[in-house]
């Protein structure tokens, strides 16, 4: 299943400048999602992080993982579009976060998120981020789908 940014915005409420996922390239419900963000010097985070040495913030990488994980959770639950429009994903915890290499303008940041465990509305996900097949970050994410 491939999703463009328009379809992504139908599922999660994030919008520019905080929509951190450009495309979903693979998705298998209840198993995994692969998506990416093209990091550009035009991203407003580079105005302050850092102007003379632009590095994409680790917290933004984690948020991108969380957004991809939210799409995976939504697409894994048996909900109509109308039901889904009345729900939102809240992240409960981010554990075991590690940053292995800097992400810079021009990088294609690929998110690979897989399901560790799901019980009802609660999801535990393994998140990994790659640039050119090199892992740049990883974390364990816990989220819950709740009513708006």
- Over residues 34-85, the pLDDT tens digits come to 999 999 999 999 999 998 999 999 999 999 999 999 999 999 998 887 888 8
State pLDDT tens for residues 103-116.
Answer: 999 999 999 999 99
- 14: annotated active-site residue: no
- CATH 3.10.129.10 corresponds to the domain 5-147: yes
Residue holding tokens 């590095």?
55
Domain ranges of the chain: 5-147
The one catalytic residue in 23, 25, 32, 49 is: 49
Q: Where are the beta strands (DSSP E) in 19-133?
A: 23-28, 32-38, 87-99, 108-119, 122-131
Do residues 71 and 37 lie in contact, with contact meaning Cβ atoms separated by under 8 Å? no
């Amino acid at each position: 299943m491939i999703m463009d940014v328009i379809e992504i915005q139908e599922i999660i409420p994030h919008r520019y400048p905080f929509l951190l996922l450009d495309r979903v390239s693979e998705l298998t419900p209840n198993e995994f999602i692969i998506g990416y963000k093209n990091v550009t010097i035009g991203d407003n985070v580079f105005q302050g992080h850092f102007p003379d040495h632009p590095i994409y913030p680790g917290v933004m990488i984690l948020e991108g993982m969380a957004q991809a994980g939210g799409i995976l959770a939504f697409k894994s639950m048996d909900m109509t579009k109308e039901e889904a429009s009345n729900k939102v994903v809240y992240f409960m915890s981010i554990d075991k976060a590690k940053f292995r290499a800097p992400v810079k303008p021009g990088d294609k940041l690929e998110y690979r998120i897989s399901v560790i465990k799901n019980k009802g509305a609660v999801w535990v996900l393994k998140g990994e981020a790659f640039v050119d097949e090199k892992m740049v970050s990883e974390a364990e994410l816990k989220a819950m789908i709740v009513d708006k």
